[in-house]
Structure 1
Amino acid sequence: MNDLTVAVSGATGYAGGEVLRLLSTHPHLNVTTVCGHSSVGETLGRHQPHLARYSDFVVKESTAEVLAGHDVVILALPHGQSGAIAAELEQSSPETLIVDLAADHRLISAAAWEKFYGSTHQGTWTYGLPELLTAGGTKQRDALKDTKRIAVPGCNVTAVTLGLAPLVQAGLAAPAGLNAVLANGVSGAGKALKPHLTAAEVLGDASPYGTGGTHRHVPEIEQNLNGVLGTDAAEGPTRISFTPTLVPMSRGILATITAVPGESAPRTAEGLLDAAALKDELGQAFAQAYAEEPFVRVLPEGQWPRTSSTTGSNLAHIQFTVDERAERILVVVALDNLVRGTAGQALQSIHLALGLDETTALPLEGVAP
């Protein structure tokens, strides 16, 4: 395939920079335009000095006019800003593959969007999580093979969805009463200067945010898990208590997830939970879902996920067990929020939409120490 032209809007931010890093060695996708806002007219190297290949690129204004005409446009903009540009692009460049890294086009329910984001819903695009199970027994990658509009999932959502979807679909984990507590690196909050993200505030500290069911990723997680059951995206049975926590690391997510055993969980003749049999069935559910997946790894027995092991990698690491005394399922997921949680799965989805090998230019190995 000949080189395809790519424009990246929001190129000076963390997500845009990670997209560019992965594209820098891509054999088919050729970045020709980088766009920003306050950095217009400056060289990209002033803002992303680690991206040597693109250091001399001059940042252009993020407008539909500048972005039009490229084969692929990647929008790495804050939530609520990509919708307007995307709407213009759809009119001027209907054949362009447009990929939104923000939340503007993820949710199916307009009511859920308006409740959690407080603005007008911009419509729903094809969801960019290739490994996501569907109620019909397929995976989301099938839908991505025939689309020109991709909405990339939230990074927290990716971790929780990968950890729960196979178990909820198999009936091993009840869709109600789910709980997830996540340790998040500060890059997930974006690159804009915020006092609570400075070193003086973050170092030596850990703090929750988006508590009490208010975090914007809640409806997206529930949408995904309702989808694997074939129920209404917003009104299905899934309910999750979701608490992200800011910790002093630059990137990474460690999701600790608990679930009540579902109706299909094995029990003894006396009606007690058969923990050993349940653990075996959990392993089978994960194997059936991910054994052939290049970017999801269920770790060997006794090895638990660590964020440091996924840094720079497009792999999500998963481990699980059964807490027999509490009668709870425990799943732990680690991933790099900027790679597997954003730029990496964006590239996976782009490859599928363009008919390329899904694994092209995506790293399996992490960076250590």
Structure 2
Amino acid sequence: MTYSVAVAGASGYAGGEVLRLLAGHPDFEVRTVTASSNAGRPLSELQPHLRSLAHLTLQDTTPDILRGHEVVVLALPHGASGALTDELGDDAVVVDCGADHRLADRAAWEAFYGGPYHEPWTYGVPELPTGDGKLRERLDGATRIAAPGCNASAVSLAIAPGIASGLIDEEIVAVLAVGPSGAGKSLKVPYLASELLGSANPYAVGGSHRHIPEIQQNLRLAGAHNPTVSFTPVLVPMARGILATVTASLKPGVDRALVREAWEQAYEGEPFVQVLPEGQWPRTADVLGANTALIGVTVDEAANRVVALIAVDNLVKGTAGAAVQCLNLALGLPEGRGLTVNGVAP
């Protein structure tokens, strides 16, 4: 069976990556692409690398245009998809790549995003450890899916095994090197090449980043009671990618030999989340274009802290790849269909 697909926000980075993955997926046919200010323009003007979809023209993003498809993927700015999803009805499987349906805590939404609050959907990080298994089980047959925030899923996957196994305290520190494509395609001064090249630029410092409550929500799913997250992202001059260094104190009396075992057991058999051999460390270059998260883990003996490093492509495993992976699970398709673990080098 081939599923008809509409992609809203198809002119942006996340929308373009969704289209790239769907174009190579044997079970999906992209029939409709929409945008806001770019409506009426050929898709090939905005996404010239998507040659197999060059016949499509961007249409207005309205419920009427999106209805009638079996799958709808929303790659819209935060705050833009919630009102739209209320009008789509129940006929399609809908994946939201924005934040509108991620948070279960209304107060957290109001504090970090603001605007109308919309109910949470099934959250889309299949490999995330939970108290009763993995989030994967909740995605089977889901019709409303919230794709994760790229930084949030990276930090959560990096440290969740320590929470789930009871080895670490709940005070988490995360520092991330992030490519600017995660901020979207809109023209803003901090993302200009002249501002980024030759520089590393921190932003959203001091607990203000919008992905913090999402990380805390994920850690609660993994078994935490009241986790805190000190989160510092740093823009670096690479188009895409996240390298997150996530640390936490070991609980008193924990045998350090259990640390590697906990991470390896948590992701045993997971094709898209892989723990590297001891002494090896992930690089963003190794996950470019792949739906893969690579994790390196060790113990800083002097500081008595677990150190977990994770590399992901923010546009693939961080967003579009996670969306397609979740669609596969929701529709009963093989989970890895249309996705690759192989990066692009050099």
TM-score category (smaller protein): over 0.9
Conserved? CA contact 2:275–2:294, under 8 Å: yes
Which of residues 154, 157, 162 in structure 2 aligns to 1:159? Answer: 154
Structure 2 match to 1:73: 72
Distance 1:264 1:61, change over 3 A: farther
The TM-score normalised by the length of structure 1 is 0.92
**Root-mean-square deviation over aligned CA pairs:** 1.0
Residue 314 of structure 2 corresponds to residue 337 of structure 1: yes
User: Map of 1:73-152 to 2, 5 A cutoff?
Assistant: 73-90=72-89, 94-136=90-132, 138-152=133-147
SS at match of 1:38: coil
Tell me, in whole angstroms, the C-alpha distance in 1 between the residues paired with 2:222 and 2:238: 33
Conserved? CA contact 1:171–1:265, under 8 Å: no
Tell me, in whole angstroms, the C-alpha distance in 1 between the residues paired with 2:78 and 2:251: 35
Tell me, in whole angstroms, the C-alpha distance in 2 between the residues paired with 1:264 and 1:367: 43
Which of residues 227, 230, 238 in structure 2 aligns to 1:238? Answer: 227
Tell me, in whole angstroms, the C-alpha distance in 2 between the residues paired with 1:6 and 1:345: 16
Gaps in structure 1 of 5+ consecutive residues: 267-277
Gaps in structure 2 of 5+ consecutive residues: none
SS at match of 1:89: coil
Distance 1:355 1:263, change over 3 A: farther
The code of the aligned residue for 1:121 comes to Y
Tell me, in whole angstroms, the C-alpha distance in 2 between the residues paired with 1:262 and 1:122: 37
Conserved? CA contact 2:179–2:242, under 8 Å: yes
Which of residues 277, 285, 288 in structure 2 aligns to 1:300? Answer: 277
Using the TM superposition, give the Cα deviation of residue 214 of structure 1 relative to its aligned residue in structure 2, in angstroms: 0.8
Structure 2 match to 1:179: 173
Tell me, in whole angstroms, the C-alpha distance in 2 between the residues paired with 1:199 and 1:207: 12
Using the TM superposition, give the Cα deviation of residue 64 of structure 1 relative to its aligned residue in structure 2, in angstroms: 0.6
Structure 2 match to 1:285: 262
Conserved? CA contact 2:260–2:298, under 8 Å: no
Structure 1 match to 2:13: 14
**How far does the alpha carbon of each residue in 1:210-245 deviate from its partner, in whole angstroms, 9 at most, with x for none?**
11111100000001101111x6xxxx3100100111
Tell me, in whole angstroms, the C-alpha distance in 1 between the residues paired with 2:55 and 2:125: 33
Structure 2 match to 1:262: 251
Tell me, in whole angstroms, the C-alpha distance in 1 between the residues paired with 2:105 and 2:128: 18
**How far does the alpha carbon of each residue in 1:283-322 deviate from its partner, in whole angstroms, 9 at most, with x for none?**
1111211111110111112211100111001110000111
The code of the aligned residue for 1:244 comes to P
The TM-score normalised by the length of structure 2 is 0.98
The code of the aligned residue for 1:316 comes to A
SS at match of 1:88: coil
Conserved? CA contact 2:11–2:35, under 8 Å: yes
Tell me, in whole angstroms, the C-alpha distance in 1 between the residues paired with 2:298 and 2:112: 33
Tell me, in whole angstroms, the C-alpha distance in 1 between the residues paired with 2:146 and 2:253: 33
Higher gyration radius (CA) = 1
State the percentage of identical aligned residues: 52
Conserved? CA contact 1:100–1:151, under 8 Å: yes
**How far does the alpha carbon of each residue in 1:39-78 deviate from its partner, in whole angstroms, 9 at most, with x for none?**
1111000000000011121100001110001000000000
Conserved? CA contact 1:171–1:264, under 8 Å: no
**How far does the alpha carbon of each residue in 1:335-361 deviate from its partner, in whole angstroms, 9 at most, with x for none?**
100001001111110001000000001
The code of the aligned residue for 1:131 comes to E
Structure 2 match to 1:310: 287
Tell me, in whole angstroms, the C-alpha distance in 1 between the residues paired with 2:186 and 2:157: 29
Tell me, in whole angstroms, the C-alpha distance in 2 between the residues paired with 1:86 and 1:264: 49
Conserved? CA contact 1:170–1:264, under 8 Å: no
Using the TM superposition, give the Cα deviation of residue 251 of structure 1 relative to its aligned residue in structure 2, in angstroms: 0.2
SS at match of 1:115: helix
Using the TM superposition, give the Cα deviation of residue 203 of structure 1 relative to its aligned residue in structure 2, in angstroms: 0.5
Distance 1:73 1:263, change over 3 A: farther
Q: How many residues in Structure 1 have an aligned counterpart in Structure 2? A: 346
Using the TM superposition, give the Cα deviation of residue 264 of structure 1 relative to its aligned residue in structure 2, in angstroms: 6.4
The code of the aligned residue for 1:208 comes to P
Tell me, in whole angstroms, the C-alpha distance in 2 between the residues paired with 1:124 and 1:262: 33
Using the TM superposition, give the Cα deviation of residue 169 of structure 1 relative to its aligned residue in structure 2, in angstroms: 1.2
Structure 1 match to 2:23: 24
Tell me, in whole angstroms, the C-alpha distance in 1 between the residues paired with 2:142 and 2:126: 13
Moved more, 140-149 or 43-52: 140-149
Structure 1 match to 2:323: 346
Moved more, 45-54 or 127-136: 127-136
Structure 2 match to 1:228: 222
Using the TM superposition, give the Cα deviation of residue 95 of structure 1 relative to its aligned residue in structure 2, in angstroms: 2.2
Runs of 4+ aligned residues of structure 1 deviating over 2 Å after TM superposition are none
The code of the aligned residue for 1:310 comes to V
**How far does the alpha carbon of each residue in 1:1-48 deviate from its partner, in whole angstroms, 9 at most, with x for none?**
x11100000001000000110111111111000000111111000000
